[in-house]
């Protein structure tokens, strides 16, 4: 189940690995949507938010991307000089990531190591603690987020950060409302379960939901952002560079301030460990 240290992009076969996620049935549709406006906004806004984290200030940071998929963020971070390990349950998505690595300079590819397996097993799949642990677009597919968050906590350094990207459970009706799907918008006011655009059953999370699991493990939410405020209901290719730059500037701004971030499609939640001298103030 584990890549050889001397072969950083090896993807070993994992017979029948099923981490209990409902994502697998949507793999082809996920791959088909990459590079379209919604994906570009998600990845670029997230990339800028990550770039501001202190853990990434001095490369090489040790980064673990759990549910790395096709590796969009992992690749950005490897290009920036960080040492990245990706874990994913899907052989198909890891193959897509490997394909992207094949087009990179050798020194970038050498900074990436891929492991096929369940994120919940991360403590058994990697050694040591990471400066930054990402888990983006994964929790919505899990029946129970506690095993995954516990695993992430175990592999993150005491000075490190955990970065989660979740479907926003604070404002789940927004997408259906903006698309004019009124019955779905009405039912989303009182539920966190929904069917996503890949046709998969999924669950949204509010910051309090992840706080509730990570708090007792010693983690405190230090930052939170919205991702995709203005463009979530649009289904089109990304525009040209000039229009895209303006659109991304507006999305980044909206994602970093209230009230806009509260109605974003996705929330980016960043956790750090509670320091001994902060404990009395919690
Ligand atoms: C929506 S994709 C997100 C990919 C990437 N993180 C991103 O944000 O672009 C979800 C990914 O999580 C992976 N995944 C889902 N559940 C998982 C689990 N329990 N352990 C490891 N990977 C998982 C899927 O195989 C898929 O690659």
Q: Measured from the CA of 93, which atom of ligand 1 is nearest?
A: 27
Residues in contact with ligand 1 by the CB-under-6-Å rule are: 19, 21, 23, 30, 67-69, 72, 87-90, 93, 118-120, 136-138, 141
For residue 53, tell me if it sits in a domain.
yes
CATH code of residue 186: 3.40.50.150
For residue 186, tell me if it sits in a domain.
yes
For residue 122, tell me if it sits in a domain.
yes
In which domain, by residue range, is 270 found? 24-281
For residue 276, tell me if it sits in a domain.
yes
Q: Whose CA is nearest to atom 27 of ligand 1?
A: 69
Q: What is the pLDDT of residue 279?
A: 53
| DSSP code string of the chain | ----TTSTT-----TT---SBS-GGGHHHHHHHTTBHHHHHHHHHHHHHHHT-GGGSSSPPEEEEET-TT-HHHHHHHHTT-EEEEEES-HHHHHHHHHHHHTS-HHHHTTEEEEES-GGGHHHHS-S-EEEEEEES-GGGBS-SHHHHHHHHHTEEEEEEEEEEEEBTTSTHHHHHHHT-HHHHHHHTT-SEEE-TTS-EEE-B-HHHHHHHHGGGTEEEEEEEEE-SSSTT--SB---HHHHHHHHHHHHHHHTSTTGGGGSSEEEEEEEEPPGGGGGG-
Q: What is the pLDDT of residue 15?
A: 37
Report how far ligand 1's centroid is from the alpha carbon of 70 (Å): 9
Report how far ligand 1's centroid is from the alpha carbon of 211 (Å): 21
Q: Whose CA is nearest to atom 14 of ligand 1?
A: 67
For residue 272, tell me if it sits in a domain.
yes
Report how far ligand 1's centroid is from the alpha carbon of 196 (Å): 15
For residue 266, tell me if it sits in a domain.
yes
Q: What is the number of structural domains in the chain?
A: 1
For residue 151, tell me if it sits in a domain.
yes
For residue 11, tell me if it sits in a domain.
no
Residue pLDDT tens, the chain, 282 long = 334 333 444 443 343 334 447 899 999 999 999 999 999 999 999 999 999 999 999 999 999 999 999 999 999 999 999 999 999 999 999 999 999 999 999 999 999 999 999 999 999 999 999 999 999 999 999 999 999 999 999 999 999 999 999 999 999 999 999 999 999 999 999 999 999 999 999 999 999 999 999 999 999 999 999 999 999 999 999 999 999 999 999 999 999 999 999 999 999 999 999 876 665 444
């Amino acid at each position: 189940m584990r890549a050889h240290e001397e072969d950083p992009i090896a993807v070993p076969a994992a017979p029948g690995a099923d981490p209990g996620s409902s994502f697998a049935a949507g793999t082809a549709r996920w791959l088909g949507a990459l590079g379209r406006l919604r994906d570009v906004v998600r990845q670029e806004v997230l990339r800028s938010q990550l770039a501001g984290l202190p853990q990434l200030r001095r490369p090489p940071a040790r980064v673990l991307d759990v549910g790395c998929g096709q590796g969009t963020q992992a690749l950005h971070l490897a290009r920036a000089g960080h040492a990245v390990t990706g874990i994913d349950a899907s052989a198909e998505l890891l193959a897509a990531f490997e394909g992207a690595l094949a087009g990179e300079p050798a020194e970038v590819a050498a900074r990436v190591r891929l492991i096929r397996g369940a994120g919940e097993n991360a403590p058994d799949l990697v050694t040591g603690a990471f400066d930054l642990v990402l888990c983006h677009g994964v929790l919505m597919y899990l029946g129970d987020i506690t095993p995954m968050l516990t695993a992430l906590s175990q592999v993150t350094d005491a000075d490190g950060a955990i970065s989660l990207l979740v479907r926003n459970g604070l404002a789940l009706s927004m997408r259906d409302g903006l698309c004019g799907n009124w019955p779905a918008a009405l039912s989303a006011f009182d539920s966190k379960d929904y069917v996503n655009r890949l046709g998969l059953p999924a669950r949204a999370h509010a910051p309090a939901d992840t706080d509730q699991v990570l708090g007792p493990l010693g983690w405190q939410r230090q930052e939170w952002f919205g991702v995709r405020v203005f463009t979530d209901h649009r289904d089109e290719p990304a525009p040209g560079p000039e229009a895209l730059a303006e659109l991304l500037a507006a999305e980044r701004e909206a994602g970093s301030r209230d009230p806009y971030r509260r109605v974003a499609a996705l929330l980016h939640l960043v956790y750090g460990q509670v320091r001994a001298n902060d404990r009395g103030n919690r």
